[in-house]
Structure 1
Amino acid sequence: MRILVAEDNVENQEIIRRRLERAGHQVSIAANGLEAVEMAKAQKPELILMDISMPIMSGIEATLAIRGAAELRDTPVIALTAHAMEGDEARCLSVGCDAFATKPIRFAELLALIEKIREARSAKAKSA
């Protein structure tokens, strides 16, 4: 899958990139929410991993902008956060995220979630 990772921490960017590429995915990195929106519009990724706490534009704001773009409306977004507070998951899902994961990332779980999303997209494409 072509995956856009929106993450402001450089160390996390590289860890996520290496793990996803090792699993066979093509990865692009955005360092903030605004960059994520711009890259998503230009690259049309198949999935976006969105850190919620980022500079310039938060992951929540970026997800709202992505959901507002007709060509990206159906792109799956998985919210990522290191500071999971009560209500965060509901808030992320309410703005259009498809799933929610906490940091540190449990890569086996994340890869299983990505595969589930890939399979759902494939089934949807076949039925269309």
Structure 2
Amino acid sequence: MNQLILLVEDDPMMQRMALKVLVSRGYHCEVAGNGREGIAMAERLRPTLILMDLSLPEINGWDAARTLKANPQLAWIPIIATTAHAMVGDRESALEAGCDECLTKPYEIEELVTMVARFIGPPASEAKSA
């Protein structure tokens, strides 16, 4: 079974960086550019993991996470919040909104890969060869 990661990110540079890292490690990824699109894609695709920027247009990441976690068919999907907000309480507010973890931007590549693997394991191709 392929692990599908839904990247909900409006910054094209961050999209490219995260996609390059995750795809090069063997993960399958889809991208949504705003919170509304992220919710719709999660409902349609049922990803294994969601990487959710918190500062998104249309519907912000906090509200998108609350919406996803309120849906019994999607509540099981882990959500890793990604945010440039590094103020005291930002991580806690992401967790209160339903995110399972929070990654502060800019993050190190290995930090992203380690956190993704912690929630969904190695990519299917890597798991088969282990």
Q: Which has the higher contact order (CA 8 A, sep 6+)?
A: 2
Q: Which ranges of 4 or more aligned residues in structure 1 deviate by more than 4 Å?
A: none
Q: Provide structure 1 residue ranges, at least 5 long, that are not aligned to the other structure.
A: 120-128
Match of 2:21 in 1: 19
Q: Secondary structure at the match of 2:120?
A: helix
Alignment map for 1:87-126 (pairs within 5 Å): 87-119=89-121
1:58-84 CA distances to partner (integer Å, 9 max, x unpaired)? 000100110111111010000000122
Q: Does 1:71 align with 2:73?
A: yes
How far the C-alpha of 1:13 sits from its partner, in A, is 0.7
Aligned residue-pair number: 119
Q: Provide structure 2 residue ranges, at least 5 long, that are not aligned to the other structure.
A: 122-130
Q: Secondary structure at the match of 1:96?
A: coil
Give the residue type in structure 2 aligned to 1:78: I
Q: In 1, Cα distance between the equivalents of 2:86 and 2:56?
A: 14
Give the residue type in structure 2 aligned to 1:36: G
Q: Secondary structure at the match of 2:73?
A: helix
The percent of aligned pairs where both chains have the same amino acid is 36
Match of 1:41 in 2: 43
1:77-116 CA distances to partner (integer Å, 9 max, x unpaired)? 0000012211000011111111000111211011111111
Q: In 1, Cα distance between the equivalents of 2:63 and 2:17?
A: 24
TM-score of the two chains, using structure 1 as the length reference: 0.90
Q: In 1, Cα distance between the equivalents of 2:10 and 2:118?
A: 26
TM-score of the two chains, using structure 2 as the length reference: 0.88
Give the residue type in structure 2 aligned to 1:79: A
Give the residue type in structure 1 aligned to 2:92: A
Match of 2:127 in 1: none
Match of 1:7 in 2: 9
1:22-49 CA distances to partner (integer Å, 9 max, x unpaired)? 0110000000011000000000000000
**RMSD, aligned α-carbons:** 0.9
Match of 1:123 in 2: none
